[in-house]
Amino acid sequence: MTQPITPCLWFDNQAEEAAHFYASIFPNSKVGKIARYPEGSPGPAGGVMTVEFTLNGQDFTGLNGGPYFKFNEAVSFQVPCKDQAEIDHYWEKLLAGGGKESQCGWLSDKYGLSWQIFPTRLIELTTSPDKEKAQRAMQAMLKMVKIDLAAIEAAAEG
């Protein structure tokens, strides 16, 4: 069964490269069908028009649409992580080749796509019924670039 909504990511001309890059990072991922621009279309004849790919079971389409639109932080992909090792893995891999760190677990990869790399434990801590604990966890997280789970847990405990 196909998923009801498939995100389409607009690239200048790197959709196939990006699909392979992302598929190399996430488990249960693959690059699928590649459609090429036909003669007389807006793109270069024979060049990659779209790439279907799957990241950890989620289907995507990459479109080589030219330099008209760029990614920005208004749209990002969240990657919930079970532990610090997983945070470190995704952080390192997604920054490879020219990505940029931001703050509070956000980064943009070398294509300009924004990602939020965070531990699921962070949500538990920042939504704790103990309001002071939640506030301490939030304040610790707000000072971070890459999330340091141990430091947030220590701050939450006071």
Using alpha carbons only, how large is the chain's radius of gyration in Å? Answer: 18
Regarding whether 55 and 15 lie in a shared domain, the answer is yes
Regarding whether 76 and 56 lie in a shared domain, the answer is no
Regarding whether 142 and 96 lie in a shared domain, the answer is yes
Q: What is the DSSP string of 76-137?
A: EEEEEESSHHHHHHHHHHHHTTT-EE-STTEEE-TTS-EEEEEEHHHHHHHT-SSHHHHHHH
Q: Which of 49, 69, 89 is the last residue of a domain?
A: 69
| Structural domain range at position 55 | 1-69
Residue pLDDT, tens place only, 57-73:
999 999 999 999 999 99
Residue pLDDT, tens place only, 4-32:
999 999 999 999 999 999 999 999 999 99
Q: Is the pTM of this model over 0.75?
A: yes
Regarding whether 22 and 77 lie in a shared domain, the answer is no
When divided into structural domains, the chain yields a total of 2
Regarding whether 87 and 45 lie in a shared domain, the answer is no
Q: Which of 23, 39, 69 is the last residue of a domain?
A: 69
Give the pLDDT band of residue 3 (cuts 50, 70, 90): confident
CATH number at residue 93: 3.10.180.10
Q: Report the interhelical angle of 149-157 vs 84-95 (nearest 10°).
A: 140
